[in-house]
Amino acid sequence: MEKCKVPFVMRPFNHYAFHRRRKALKLTGLIVSLAGIFTMLDLVLNVRLPVSGSRAVFLGIVLIIFGVLFLYHGYKLPLEEALEIVHNRGQGITASELVHEMRVDRLSADRIIAALLRKGFLRSSANAGTAEEVFEPVQ
């Protein structure tokens, strides 16, 4: 019996979901961090929460750590998503195309391309005939 081989279908990049997820991570990180700070400040204030003493300190620190992690993932460069776009295209990409596909500003696109070049995922193709530098995926 032979296995059924279904080709992998590439789906287009959904920039709405991408930006919605990053916004949700930033907002969640801010709320969780502020909740952790409020829990820590509750030891000094007159308002009493059900958690007090060393449990409040532990809970506050944990909430602050999770909030910072959410904020980090909301603000870090979207390298995985950019690699997905490059590999879906199957050809080189320019900074302008990355701006158009991901709906990010030009500075962010340049930083994404520089990071992918540093990590070795892209290489620069030196074509003199093009107006803009094309970056090709490393095979």
- DSSP structure string for 65-129: HHHHHHHHHHHS--HHHHHHHHHHHTS-B-HHHHHHHHT--HHHHHHHHHHHHHHTSEEEE--TT
Query: Domain 79-137 classified CATH 1.10.10.10?
Result: yes
Reported as a pLDDT band with limits 50, 70 and 90, residue 6 is very low
pLDDT in tens, 70-108: 999 999 999 888 888 888 877 788 888 889 988 899 999
Domain extent listing, the chain: 15-75, 79-137
134 phi/psi in degrees, rounded to 5: -100, 135
Q: Does residue 74 contact residue 110 with C-beta atoms inside 8 Å? A: no
Reported as a pLDDT band with limits 50, 70 and 90, residue 127 is low
Q: Does residue 57 contact residue 9 with C-beta atoms inside 8 Å? A: no
More confident residue, 55 or 27: 27
pTM of the predicted model over 0.95: no
Q: For position 118, what pLDDT does the model report?
A: 92
Compute the average pLDDT of residues 61-68. 96
Whether the per-residue pLDDT at 2 is higher than 60: the answer is: no
